[in-house]
């Protein structure tokens, strides 16, 4: 891309809920100290993007350039041209969580494409420390790393391993990512969702044959004692609450999704299980690295994940359809 200060780039802007337009914006030619310009190579669309478009995101200022699942190529310096995965969580480096090695839950976190403008455009600036070389990955695979890292982080938080029987509720992309890493950790993985479409994708594309509807009486037969870990990826308070009785004695609940509402549980049920409720937010560099290694080793069926490809210039026209079809799509990938 050019360095002409008058040059512009096509940028998809969510102007207000329900309205996305294409703007021409100046191409950034300089990055702040410690930051680095990258030319966007591929963008994954996330449930968060659908929520932003629908006006359902709790804290968000419009207009907003969405796009936080990003791969790109470094513009300047000795690494120019290097394909990188973008970690979109910009942390302060300074709060207690950051000082304690947990920048994923920084108190002042700003997520590219959510709290500040993201990558649905040609070029952005990103903190250099948030760029990871995507050795051995394609640009599209590199754009899948962030959402998979959310699942990899949740599985790491849970301590899931060989011999565990786990349930992932919510078979959207985050649930699928969680299930893939739980299976890689050696667990027997079950999935639950209201949507036959999503359960069908989990079964047919990813081989998760143990699927359940929430109205099933799940805890029968071999599952009568419950699940060692229940991962919630539904974003639904009622689903989270319905998951608590499914946890085996000694087991854990991992909240991968977030809801605005309060959730309640019965303390005596919680206590007698000696249960744990674990929050899992974003992901760490180690999770991104684990995902990249899993992709390189052929453990992640990235062809199955890439449901559809859209050019950035077509995105505003296509977005409402993608929102409607989301139960039948795993990941939509956008190229600038």
Residue closer to Zn ion, measured from CB, 169 or 282: 282
Tell me whether residue 324 is exposed, middle or buried, using C-beta atoms within 10 angstroms of its C-beta: 0 to 12, 13 to 18, 19 or more: exposed
Residue closer to Zn ion, measured from CB, 132 or 227: 132
Q: How far is the CB of 216 from Zn ion (least distance, A)?
A: 29
First-to-final CA distance of the chain: 12
Q: How far is the CB of 162 from Zn ion (least distance, A)?
A: 29
Q: How many CB atoms lie within 10 A of CB 72?
A: 29
Binding site for Zn ion (CB under 5 A): 46, 48, 91-92, 95, 98, 106
Q: How far is the CB of 98 from Zn ion (least distance, A)?
A: 3
Name the E strands within the chain.
Answer: 8-16, 19-26, 35-44, 69-74, 83-86, 89-90, 110-111, 123-127, 131-133, 165-169, 188-192, 211-212, 227-232, 247-255, 276-279, 306-311, 331-335
Q: How far is the CB of 4 from Zn ion (least distance, A)?
A: 33
Residue closer to Zn ion, measured from CB, 92 or 277: 92
Rg over alpha carbons for the chain, rounded to the nearest Å, is 20
Query: Which of these, 110, 125, 141, lies nearest to 44 by C-alpha position?
Result: 141
Residue closer to Zn ion, measured from CB, 42 or 46: 46
| Tokens 């959310």 sit on residue | 150
Q: How far is the CB of 194 from Zn ion (least distance, A)?
A: 21
Residue closer to Zn ion, measured from CB, 95 or 304: 95
């Amino acid at each position: 891309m050019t360095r002409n200060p008058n040059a512009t780039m096509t940028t998809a802007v969510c102007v207000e809920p329900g309205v996305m337009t294409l703007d021409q914006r100046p191409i950034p030619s300089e990055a702040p100290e410690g930051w680095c310009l990258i030319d966007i190579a591929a963008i994954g669309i996330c449930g968060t993007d659908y929520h932003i478009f629908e006006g359902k995101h709790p804290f968000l200022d419009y207009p907003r350039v969405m796009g936080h699942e990003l791969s790109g190529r470094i513009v300047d310096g000795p690494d120019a041209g290097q394909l990188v995965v973008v970690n979109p969580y910009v942390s302060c480096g300074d709060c207690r969580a950051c000082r304690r090695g947990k920048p994923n839950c920084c108190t002042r976190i700003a997520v590219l494409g959510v709290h500040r403008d993201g990558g649905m455009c040609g070029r952005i600036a990103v903190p250099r420390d948030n760029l990871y070389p995507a050795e051995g990955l394609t640009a599209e695979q590199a754009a899948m790393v962030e959402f998979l890292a959310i699942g990899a982080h949740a599985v790491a938080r849970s301590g899931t391993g060989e011999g565990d029987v786990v349930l992932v509720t919510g078979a959207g992309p985050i649930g699928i990512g969680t299930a893939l890493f739980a299976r890689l950790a050696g667990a027997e993985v079950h999935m639950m969702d209201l949507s036959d479409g999503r359960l069908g994708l989990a079964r047919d594309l990813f081989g998760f044959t143990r699927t359940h509807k929430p109205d099933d009486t799940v805890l029968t037969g071999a599952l009568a004692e419950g699940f060692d870990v229940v991962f919630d990826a539904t974003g639904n308070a009622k689903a989270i609450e319905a998951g608590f009785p499914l946890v085996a004695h000694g087991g854990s609940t991992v909240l991968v999704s977030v809801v605005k509402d309060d959730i309640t549980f019965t303390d005596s049920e919680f206590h007698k299980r000696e249960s744990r409720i674990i929050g899992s937010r974003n992901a760490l560099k180690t999770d991104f690295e684990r995902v990249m290694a899993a992709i390189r080793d052929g453990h992640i069926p990235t062809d199955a994940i890439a449901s559809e490809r859209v050019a950035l210039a077509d995105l505003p026209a296509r977005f409402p359809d993608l929102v409607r079809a989301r139960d039948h799509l795993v990941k939509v990938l956008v190229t600038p």
